[in-house]
Amino acid sequence: MNKFINTQFRINWHEYPFLRILIPFLLGILLAEYLPGYISSAALLLILGILSLIATSFIKSIRFKWLFGISLHLVLFSFAYLRTAQHNELNAPQHFSHYLPAEKASFTAWVAEMPEEKNWIRMTCRVEGILNSNAQAQYATGNIQIYLQKDSLSQYLSYGDLLHIRSRISPLETVKNPHAFDFSRYLHFKNIHYQAFVQADEWRKLEKKRGRFLMRQIYSLRQKLLVVLQKHLKDQEIFAVGAALTLGYRAELGEDIRTAYADTGAIHILAVSGLHVGIIYFIINWLLRFFPSYSSAQKWFKVLFALSGIWMFALLTGASSSVIRASIMFSFLTIGQQTGRFGNIYNTLAAAAFLSLVLEPYRLFTVGFQLSYLAVIGIVFFQPKIYRLLYFKYKVPDYLWQITAVSIAAQIAVSPISIFYFHQFPFYFWLSSMIVIPAAFAVLVLTLLLFSSSFLLPILGEWIGQTLHFVLSIMNGSIWLIKGFPTGLIKGLWIEWYEVLLLYGILIFVGIFIVHLHKRYLNAALLAVLLFCLSISIRASQNYFQKSITIYHQPKGSIIDFFDGRHSYSLQSEHINARNLDFNTQQHRWASGIKRVEDFKIEEIPKQRFDHLFLQFPYIQFYDKRILIYDQQAFRASSTKLEVDYLLIRNNPKLRLEEVESAVNAKQIIFDASNPFWKNQQWMKSCEELGLDCYDVRESGAFVMAF
């Protein structure tokens, strides 16, 4: 480990050939995602680049060698664009979406990942055939997200099971609320674009098996190992954490324990990723110390042994994208170490990233990929510098300081992007790392011993199981204790993507300054700090003076926020629970800089006047905007025609728009998501016939009006 950590960073591009290759490849992937539709142009560029590469390879003059470099970059850029476009299944001519009938689709698909059991059985399936609109069998392919109604049959499905399904297939819905988590985009980067909700009588299991034979055996072994864990870890919470940490099985994790680990900065321990693969890597290296390596054959035996161990663990934990990525990275390190060719660690990381992205370009856009590589880079660069700040004479405090230095270095590197995605900062991350990293090492070692002894020596397995239970209980207890510390978590942090780039600009220039001690790098870092502060100040000023109304997309309910500066007044249906409320509104409030929220139940709104808001249900006035809420309990037609800016129709009232139009003169009519889909569609059609301006929250997403 120290051989990698102590590597010094020097800006010499000749030492980083894979980094030079990676940069144009990344640009090609980004352009293919954000500027698609230029496949033919990219193909032409690739051909021109290859011809240019061949032509410039014969140039012997050093003065014109840059032409070869430009040609190579052009080839890499265009290849990345085409590889990304080809990786997107929607571009495949045999994708099942090209053959979908108007009504229910009849198709066969096999289970491509182990199902997860929630309210429904959720699983990713791989389509292999469909009846087209002419009722003809058609070969088709593509991933689909399936939600099966939970029953005695669906609970026992496993990887490779072939299903015949007759159900409606629909595209994934885009995010409906501003700044909310976009689940459809998350699935897009897993190459999933369609979903189906399947009732118990709409599917049947076929006898045939699909998928890879090796993966079927691995998943079967995984289920047996889960039974072993459950036998020795009687407590449900301890079993859930142990299964997630060792086998990547997270179906049993409750929301409370997830939140506790997330709030203390230790959530990464529950998702098998680089840390876990790294621990396996070091265990294997320790074992290989007892094998001789005098001959070339012995060295390559050790390489194959190490690679087999790393990839067996990757497959056993579900072969998730994060595990595959980490396994590729440690495979490069293993080959380099066992063959005595360490090279440059940054170049090794770039090579691993390049191979990972060639295999699956969409990995670039996943949070795990970004956090993983940034954390490793941060550890490699910052850890030795942080570690040298303090000296401890004795081994135990020195070891704890090493772990703390690793944790701080990783946190420095991932904090900007972590705040961007999760909008929080766990203050006690360094303390939780001092506990969970050694505990994770102990848990993985004990689990490997438990699995081995359970089959070979059950009596020894009982003792190991008790020890494993004790270690996990100490780890969980410590996390709960740290979570209870005051000011342990700063929530509501919001930065934009360009501010993330500025923060990384600061880190990069400070890092280069530390190495070279040249004033211009410090000046560049200070300039980035100035631009970041300016951006934050401008956004804070805009938030301070904002006035806006947001009617959120809340299925079977209503949520309305009135933003007045950094203060929000919120009206909600009484049956909406706190979790749904936060999911739909919290990130928009954070993005808008809201610091104080006053909540009211729509069904119980009292007559009340605030500085710029007047409530007298069903009438509301916010500044000069007048709103009338029309539902089953509230509206009574008056003798005079009401003049309002917005008419909100909610809670599925029985009405005819012709009657409403005769009683209310509204500039715009809004139908929120508390009404059924078909009812909103019916009203929208009536509005079109009457020439009324209208908006459907259920179909178009949240209504946001800033003034």
Read off the pLDDT of each residue in 619-640 and give the average, rounded to a whole number: 79
Nearest to residue 444, comparing CAs of 286, 299, 324?
A: 286
Residue 620 reports pLDDT greater than 90? yes
pTM exceeds cut of 0.75: yes
Angstrom distance (rounded) from CA 605 to CA 598: 12
pLDDT > 90: percent of the chain: 50
Three-class DSSP category at 535: helix
User: Which residues, including other chains, have CB under 8 Å from residue 370's CB and lie 6 or more apart?
Assistant: 364, 417
φ, ψ of residue 62 in degrees (nearest 5):
-65, -30
- Model confidence pLDDT, tens digit, residues 272-318: 777 788 888 888 888 877 777 667 777 778 888 888 888 888 888 77
Structure confidence at residue 292 (pLDDT): 72
pLDDT at 5 (0 to 100): 42
**Least confident range of 28-42, 229-243, 296-310:** 296-310
Q: What is the pLDDT at residue 678?
A: 92
Q: Can you give the pLDDT at residue 634?
A: 52
Q: Tell me what the mean pLDDT of segment 661-674 comes to.
A: 91
Q: What is the pLDDT of residues 171-188, one digit of tens each?
A: 999 999 999 999 999 999
Confidence bin at 672 (pLDDT 50/70/90): very high
Mean pLDDT for the chain overall:
88
| Residue 117, pLDDT above cutoff 80 | no
The pLDDT of residue 341 is 58
Which phi and psi angles does 58 have, rounded to 5°? -90, -5
Q: Mean per-residue pLDDT for 119-136? A: 87
- The answer to whether the beta carbons of residues 328 and 277 sit under 8 Å apart is no
Span 193-211, pLDDT tens digits: 999 999 999 999 998 888 8
Question: How would residue 551 be classed by pLDDT, with cut points 50, 70 and 90?
Answer: very high
pLDDT in tens, 436-445: 988 988 998 8
Go through 135-154 and write b for each residue having 16 or more CB atoms within 10 A of its CB, e for each that does not. Answer: eeebebbbbbbbbbbeeeeb
Whole-number pLDDT of residue 148: 94
DSSP 432-476: HHHHHHHHHHHHHHHHHHHHHHHHH-HHHHHHHHHHHHHHHHHHH
What digits encode the pLDDT tens for the residues 564-587? Answer: 999 999 999 988 988 899 999 999
